Amino acid sequence: MTLTQQIVTIAMVVLGTLLTRFLPFLVFPPGKETPGYVRYLGKVLPAAVFGMLVVYSLKDVSVLTGNHGIPQLLAVLLVIALHKWKRQMLLSIAGGTVFYMILVQVVF
């Protein structure tokens, strides 16, 4: 690829990303009444999206080979337990991550 072709390729990636981020705001501008269905989606989608992001962040875990996802499972359980106990975002995240690092570096 020439430099120009590289710049065009990167520009396409930028354009595609901008498109996915700006489209809802362009289709439903603040001046116009947003349809009830879209407002409904805006309210119920986030909960589903957070569930999807949890799965997305674990998508490359292989359950059938290697550690069978056991370190991830244990660490996720610890994050949940810590968060239910203290409900301190940083503590839950740091605790779970350090625990996971120990598991994959030392135990497994």
Partner 1 sequence: MRRISEKGKFLILKKAFLCAFPYTIPIFAGFWFLGMTYGIYMNVSGFSFWYPLLMSMTVFAGSVEFVAVSMLLGSFNPIQALVMTVMINARHLFYGISMLDRFRGVGRKKIYLIFGMCDETFSINYTAKIPEDVDKGWFMFFVTLLNHIYWVSGAALGGIFGSFIQFDTEGLEFVMTAMFVVIFLEQWLKEKSHTSSLAGLGISLLCLVIFGSENFIIPAMLMILAALTLLRPCLEERKGEEKQ
**Residue ranges binding partner 1 (CB under 8 A):** 1, 5-6, 8-10, 12-25, 28, 30, 34, 37-60, 71-72, 75-76, 79-80, 83-84, 87, 89-90, 92-94, 96-97, 100-105
CB of 72 to partner 1, least distance (A): 7
d(CA 99, CA 76): 10
CB of 22 to partner 1, least distance (A): 6
d(CA 49, CA 68): 25
Backbone dihedral angles phi then psi of residue 83, each to the nearest 5 degrees: -70, -35
Is 75 exposed, middle or buried (CB count within 10 Å of its CB: 0-12, 13-18, 19+)?
buried
Residue 57 or 68: the one with the smaller Cβ distance to partner 1 is: 57
CB of 95 to partner 1, least distance (A): 8
